Structure 1
């Protein structure tokens, strides 16, 4: 009886196996009338997953920022890293750890890596609960001495949602400590040539640190030489925002992304470099020292400070700034676009892509000169080459963003597919700026099949949009002038200081001020690619008719400098004190009749109340408080004065390190920009009455300058037109009186 019971139970269990199996996915194909295509077979790419990579003798960190987010359905990020000859010839492994959003479907999403335009791996994105590590060997011969380009491409699809809005939930995060290049050979560590200086690279935090060991930087001649040399080093390192430290001793051990810099006369060299004293005593000396610590050490020396200042010229000659040696954070080309020029987007890194998602995005960058002055009336043109399928429905559109602001929206009107060949999309230049500009193209695709969204459709949908790298960006002729003060010209191209033969700079007599001055000088050099000729001087020698820089804590700045640059520290008699007392109860809004009707009318015609102002406002004083402040003012005598200050020395150092970060550096504008320790963005104050400086006096340029100026001063333009009409009427009346028949 027991055997029969066991047998019956066994038979019942076997019969229930199909019922207990996982049910097939819910399929709404019969209800929708759509039949999704058969799944496309995929060939897995062999990638070795290594949560704990084997320890390597020599490790290089590659990401030049603390973190990077790859967002959306298609996202890519390129960086540059420099290698020595020994590193390029050595066996290497690339390791990366990442974390992605839980909505990313691993079966349809992948993370790919390419080095020097050669794919090295592609792995599914599947690290939503904890960071995942990937390690892959670099094929022999792929790495090369000097610059190498690493591109990371994320193709991400949503697990369940087929809407455009759902694409904003897709992201993969990378951090600077998780992207590394490992070498197994112990002999390759170290830098022996000046040409390899950029191979110092970045550290675990994504920054490059310069440990400066110099003489008495309180001496004007010593500091002047250090300011020039630090700029030359920043350019040779090919980094964006080097961090400066003033130290008293050399490093005990080598650290990734750290360079020791020794600046001093032959007799002042430290004991570790005593053997170089003889060579330094005979003339300028610039060389990489080989020390027992293994720490990269750059020595700039000579018999006197004049020769030391000249030693940096050999450094620039060995490691110049050029298109063949890009900055480590600029993996794609960033050319200077002159007026009337055009360029294919493929040359800017925006290549041809076949896309089957919901929101296609691509980005490219270009430079504009510091005297770009066509942000009120000018238009650029995007000659778009693209195509889309018949599945794309009305409501789809192509959006163009310039520097993060929407500039153009073009709907896709055809409902049976379309070919966009040399389709002109006009892009207002309102948000363009001197220096580096970013343009994002976003194509929002509404489709019939996405409304049904059957299971697996987010990844299995066929190609519905093709973007061609043959698309072109065209710039019309634009005005060349500068409205000063404007800190964007300083951060974009060190303008106008880089044009001068000698720029006086007043630096506080403390280590913090010296550190801040060196950091600011290095950042100006990396932004412009040029050396600003800075000469340290005292406050009493600053002339109002010259371009001047001041770097000091606010307590060390004289009241006259505060008054000239529009700053207020609250001290008795300080600039802006009377104004703040009088204006403390003033309303922030301008009293005007019928405000609602006026606002409605201005909104309809695309104007603001400031556009109707005839008399300029008065610049209000900018307070220091707990912020670091970068302020600029044009003096009535003609000079441009720029001040970097904070409440005290430590805040000055931490504040300049905040300012030089690329995300903050690009936000600096107006006549003053401030940031507090807890701030995530820059607070900028615009100049109420900027002075126009025309850089070219040709008739064509004067016409373009006038067009931009009148576009910003509408009432003046209206008054001019009215005056011209009145004069025309008077002239016509006088002419008719002379020609008419008299009775």
Structure 2
């Protein structure tokens, strides 16, 4: 968690049990800051449920600072508690706007949290206390599933069903699952051990067996002598009773109609826009703020449904209520960013101050995606005093800008229809698997604990996105897969060629991953860096040795080689050069490329992920064309299980989209293949208004059919006019 810029804030929700709320406690804060942060005027504040807990000067540029402050009785409540951190930072010497990017304060997770007098109370009780498990020092919730094994048959289905109920009840921001018949050591802090088995199997799995397990289905939190607390026992006299206990765990649903639950990561919850709607910043957790610095930023989130279809037309609006003083010079501006991409700009062109009332900033809908969308408003202020930057100019002075919480974010109606494939909709709400009441077929490429753990981490994230557990069948009959919604999970070597071909992934990805997997991670990165550095030096002197050129070509993958040959061929051909120049002009002027002029797809091409891919996900229709197939693969089952927690974290999961994605853990990069052909899935009634908006978006993407329709309409109109005039006896 990093707070950057001159002002920054973040709020999120933690959960406490009744015993934790009653016990005396303290808040621990540990952080590290930039060396350019001025301690005299920079502050960090922590509050819980609106009550101040810590306020300190920011002064920790050499080593992390550690603070402890008592939490007043009654501040911490049973259930949900809002924790908020506000940061104000000033630069030591520089007044430039660019200098504000040097300001940062990073929270040290390991030294930040709540400490209870006498130690943390053991978490033992009912299912309502699962949300109090929290996270560990890495920000994840390790869920250790202890099963009697083997996982074949109904064992894997029970695991996948159980983790869904845990994820939805706990609202864990980043769960990671491990599976085995024995898990050494006590449950780690911020983690949860789950024991699944019949009463007769429990004695060899745990030290303390609840007596109730021999009589009825149970789902209870206890403190076990082997695992400590919290340990969740899911058991019963028979396997059918274990299934009934899991049903009780999964009997929960979080409605996603008005808001999507994001509060454990970013509070408040993201409001859901299912059509025309407007909402004030005050309802998005942003209060009226006065500002005396150079770069001001506020953040909020909104959510869109999984059948959002308006990527090529339509606009949202930010109706700004703000004011600025005479110190602010023309050239200052307000910028809106959506999902880390700039989407709108409002320049300040007047001098002498001004008042903005419902000033619209138009935001194209192409910047949005199904699911949660992160939006921030950034205000860059240019003043004469900052240009001079006299001694003491970085100290707080008179406020020069104010943003009122009456500012509104508004959207008009948009088209509602699903598409397949569409991984953005899949990540947003498990689409289209959330439409089918039949059990979702989950095919494990290999029946081992690593593959099951990877699948469990994925399924828990889908349940959290859907707001309710999905029906799961982890032992489907292979003969029925051709007509069922299916998810395939496993190491790439265990995925059949037919599945790779169906989801559009090149078969040679197996050999690329095998070669790459044999390379140590650190050596590969160092060699790549050295190669780039050597090429840069050679360009500086204007030459490249034959050996270096050969080494460079060996390191290139197929797309790079294709681009190099394309550049060489087109560079020697004036016709191709003119065409490429014309395409660049179309793209920059009208956002039109030659690809958008296609009428139909040509020869089918296959997705080739980079060699250092950690997780590969691809989606397509099944061979029958009536269901969805999604494949999630890694180099090996073990590497897939290790990379899946990072892949399903908010920062990566909310960037998933297109027909296929390849995620690299080492760099955090996502390579994405856009959707080239798809099928519509009707999710809303095809009213006249909805059909009109669907047609508007489709025609905006497919320009050639649109032009042909206009030509035909114009021709028909001309013929009809000529016939009418002839009938009236007038010359044409």
The aligned residue for residue 41 of structure 1 is none
* Equivalent position to 2:590, from 605, 613, 620: 605
Q: CA deviation at 1:321?
A: 7.6
Instruction: Tell me if 1:387 matches 2:292.
Output: no
Q: CA deviation at 1:134?
A: 1.7
Q: CA deviation at 1:597?
A: 3.5
Instruction: Tell me if 1:205 matches 2:138.
Output: yes
Kept in 2: contact 1:147–1:326 (CA 8 A): no
The aligned residue for residue 622 of structure 1 is 607
Instruction: Tell me if 1:178 matches 2:111.
Output: yes
Instruction: Tell me if 1:469 matches 2:401.
Output: no
Match runs of 1:271-420 below 5 Å? 271=204, 276=209, 279-293=212-226, 294-316=228-250, 327-420=263-356
Deviates more, 1:684-693 or 1:359-368: 684-693
Residue by residue over 1:659-687, the C-alpha shift from the partner in whole angstroms, topping out at 9 and shown as x without a partner, is: 11221111211111112342321111112
Q: CA deviation at 1:283?
A: 3.4
Match runs of 1:634-673 below 5 Å? 634-635=621-622, 637-673=625-661
The aligned residue for residue 554 of structure 1 is 492
Residue by residue over 1:207-233, the C-alpha shift from the partner in whole angstroms, topping out at 9 and shown as x without a partner, is: 111110113353232211221111001
Q: CA deviation at 1:604?
A: 1.9
The aligned residue for residue 49 of structure 1 is none
Which structure has the larger Rg over C-alpha atoms? 1
Query: Equivalent residue of 1:154, what SS?
Result: strand
Query: Equivalent residue of 2:111, what SS?
Result: strand
Match runs of 1:573-612 below 5 Å? 593-612=578-597
The separation in 2 between residues aligned to 1:215 and 1:103, in whole angstroms, is 56
TM-score of the aligned structures, taking structure 1 as reference length: 0.85
Query: Equivalent residue of 2:235, what SS?
Result: strand
Q: CA deviation at 1:497?
A: 0.7
The aligned residue for residue 539 of structure 2 is none
Query: Equivalent residue of 1:408, what SS?
Result: strand
Aligned CA distance change for structure 1 residues 723 and 741 (closer, same or farther; 3 Å): closer
Gaps in structure 2 of 5+ consecutive residues: 513-556, 571-575
The aligned residue for residue 673 of structure 2 is 685
Instruction: Tell me if 1:733 matches 2:722.
Output: yes
The aligned residue for residue 527 of structure 1 is 465
The separation in 2 between residues aligned to 1:712 and 1:486, in whole angstroms, is 16
Instruction: Tell me if 1:716 matches 2:712.
Output: no
Q: CA deviation at 1:99?
A: 1.2
Query: Equivalent residue of 1:220, what SS?
Result: coil
Instruction: Tell me if 1:485 matches 2:421.
Output: yes
Q: CA deviation at 1:163?
A: 1.7
Kept in 1: contact 2:44–2:86 (CA 8 A): yes
Q: CA deviation at 1:619?
A: 4.5
Residue by residue over 1:183-228, the C-alpha shift from the partner in whole angstroms, topping out at 9 and shown as x without a partner, is: 1124723332321111111112211111101133532322112211
Gaps in structure 1 of 5+ consecutive residues: 1-67, 575-579
The aligned residue for residue 65 of structure 1 is none
* Equivalent position to 2:618, from 631, 638, 655: 631
Kept in 2: contact 1:498–1:531 (CA 8 A): no
Aligned CA distance change for structure 1 residues 222 and 734 (closer, same or farther; 3 Å): same
* Equivalent position to 1:676, from 660, 664, 676: 664
The aligned residue for residue 132 of structure 1 is 65
The separation in 1 between residues aligned to 2:247 and 2:505, in whole angstroms, is 37
Q: CA deviation at 1:383?
A: 1.6
Aligned CA distance change for structure 1 residues 417 and 277 (closer, same or farther; 3 Å): closer
Deviates more, 1:320-329 or 1:403-412: 320-329
Q: CA deviation at 1:571?
A: 8.8
The aligned residue for residue 6 of structure 1 is none
Query: Equivalent residue of 2:109, what SS?
Result: strand
The separation in 1 between residues aligned to 2:269 and 2:172, in whole angstroms, is 15
The separation in 2 between residues aligned to 1:535 and 1:152, in whole angstroms, is 43
Kept in 2: contact 1:241–1:526 (CA 8 A): no
Deviates more, 1:209-218 or 1:515-524: 209-218
RMSD across aligned positions (CA): 2.7
Q: CA deviation at 1:241?
A: 1.9
The separation in 1 between residues aligned to 2:240 and 2:382, in whole angstroms, is 67
